[in-house]
Amino acid sequence: MMVWLLIIGAAILILILQAELKRGATRHERFERDFKADFENIKNIGHHEIAEPLASSMNEALHYEYMEKVNSEFRNKFPRMSQSQASLYWREIQRYLLMASIFKSMEMFNPKVDELWHTMLNHPDEYQQFCKDFAGHEIFHYPSPEPVYKPFERTFFDLCYVQLFSIDNSSLSVWGPFFKEGIGQEYFNEFINKNLSYLKNKYMHQQANPETSRVFESFVSKIKNSKIEDVADWKNLYSYNNDASYAYLFFAQTDDWNYQVHCKHIFGDDIPLPHSHHSHHEGLSGHHGDTGHGGGHFGSDSSCSSCSSCSSCSSS
């Protein structure tokens, strides 16, 4: 009797395993179909003109087979995630890695974008080859044991992001409100007043290749050559192609600290914190400003799941 019970139990277990394998294969096939159908959309990261050389290099370096494999693994971690949601995270990890290839250090402010990065890192040979083909060097991932409040680094992230990429509702849904810690006046003044050599030494990635160096130079030139009369029509300029850089450059040159009232439809509807205009040097020197938690929340998917100024990872 006992033998028969064991045989029956083993048969049931085999049937369960076979059913699970079949479901897994069916799910993987669906993920493959979804990814293939949305691949061209995924590769369009919505960049501004100054980022075009690096966006093109990214397109050439990120191969379909690598991305499809990572995409299936990523969606398996989040079974309820649609491909359209996964595609949005693909857009943002590509934007993030583009910034990380330019600048010495770039903080990560979204847990699911970071999880997609981790999934890419699960294939070290392919990840390293991608980095080599794209940036000429590996883009290293540095985790922290727990999320740390980094308002000054978040402001720098925002400044770089709006100069390089379009901002839309999808951007806000991933990163939360932009410039809620301040417009980054000190950063702006430094880029205006310091020479290119100084700025390269302080901000540009030490392993930047010639193409990346030229993009950094274009980034600096865009800020240095901005004139308030040229960006005063920022509302119409934004409505044309979701380019929020004009709005930033306008308000960085005025004394109007109510920029979020004027730009909440662009940067997100939030109120600047009382400490939002502290010098960025306070936050960059040993992270003296990185204590405690504060600020508003922007949905369950905003950075660190709660605060858009919290970072648990960074690049270098």
Amino acid at the residue 185: Q
Long-range contacts of 52-58 (CB under 8 A, 24+ apart): 53/211, 53/214, 53/215, 54/98, 54/101, 54/102, 54/134, 54/211, 54/212, 54/215, 55/98, 57/133, 57/134, 57/135, 57/211, 58/94, 58/97, 58/98, 58/134
Which of 309 and 36 is assigned the larger pLDDT? 36
pTM over 0.85: no
Overall average pLDDT of the 203-218 stretch? 97
Instruction: Calculate the alpha carbon distances from 242 to 48, 158, 231, 249, 269 in Å.
Output: 10, 15, 14, 14, 16
116 has pLDDT over 90:
yes
Q: Which of 165, 148, 152 is nearest to 97 (CA)?
A: 165
How many angstroms separate the CA atoms of 71 and 65, rounded?
A: 10
* pLDDT of amino acid 146: 83
Q: What's the mean pLDDT when you consider all of the chain?
A: 85
168 has pLDDT over 80:
yes
Overall average pLDDT of the 40-48 stretch? 96
* pLDDT of amino acid 284: 33
What is the per-residue pLDDT across 211-247, written as a single tens digit (0 to 9) for each? 999 999 999 999 999 999 999 999 999 999 999 999 9
* pLDDT of amino acid 162: 97
* pLDDT of amino acid 14: 60
Overall average pLDDT of the 252-277 stretch? 71
* pLDDT of amino acid 258: 77
* pLDDT of amino acid 54: 98
Which value, to the nearest 10 degrees, does the dihedral of the CA atoms of residues 207, 209, 215, 216 take?
Answer: 30
Residue count of the chain: 316
13 has pLDDT over 70:
no
Lowest mean pLDDT among 51-60, 206-215, 223-232, 261-270: 261-270
CB 120 within 8 A of CB 202: no
Overall average pLDDT of the 112-138 stretch? 97
* pLDDT of amino acid 147: 85
* pLDDT of amino acid 286: 31
- Tell me the pLDDT band of 26, cut-offs 50, 70 and 90: confident
3-state helix, strand, coil in the chain (%, to 5): 65, 5, 30
How many angstroms separate the CA atoms of 111 and 217, rounded?
A: 31
Amino acid at the residue 256: D
- Tell me the pLDDT band of 28, cut-offs 50, 70 and 90: confident
